[in-house]
């Protein structure tokens, strides 16, 4: 599960799990991932015609501001995230 993007200013770190499933999505952690029980924000990456969208939140220390920042980060780098997802999982 490589880290593919980060925003140190917002303390957000974006990962794509290499053994994950469709639809294309990322896991955004507030602070660095510390273990398998670390909570995250899951965001569908979307497509060229569909923006990123929130799927679920498992982190307990996430504020609305963190969710907005995570969605904006995914939207700002959507093309790159789609490209990385396709490298790991193919374009299905």
Predicted pLDDT of residue 60: 86
What pTM was estimated for this model as a whole? 0.90
Which 8-state DSSP code applies to residue 33?
-
**CA 7 to chain CA mean position, Å:** 12
Per-residue pLDDT of the chain (92 residues; tens, 9 = 90+): 789 999 999 999 999 999 999 999 999 999 876 666 678 999 999 998 999 999 999 988 889 999 999 999 999 999 999 999 999 998 75
Predicted pLDDT of residue 76: 97
Predicted pLDDT of residue 33: 66
Name the helix (H) or strand (E) containing 42. strand 41-44
Q: How far apart are CA 20 and CA 9, in angstroms?
A: 28
Q: How far apart are CA 58 and CA 31, in angstroms?
A: 14
Predicted pLDDT of residue 10: 93
Predicted pLDDT of residue 61: 83
The three-point CA angle 58-75-86 to 5° equals: 85
């Amino acid at each position: 599960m490589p880290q593919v993007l980060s925003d140190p200013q917002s303390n957000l770190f974006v990962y794509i799990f290499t053994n994950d499933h469709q639809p294309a999505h990322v896991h955004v952690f507030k602070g660095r991932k510390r273990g398998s029980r670390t909570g995250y924000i899951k965001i569908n990456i979307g497509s060229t015609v569909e923006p990123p969208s929130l799927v679920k939140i498992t982190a307990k220390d996430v504020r609305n501001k963190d969710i907005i920042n995570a969605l904006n980060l995914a939207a700002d780098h959507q093309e790159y995230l789609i490209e990385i997802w396709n490298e790991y999982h193919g374009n299905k």
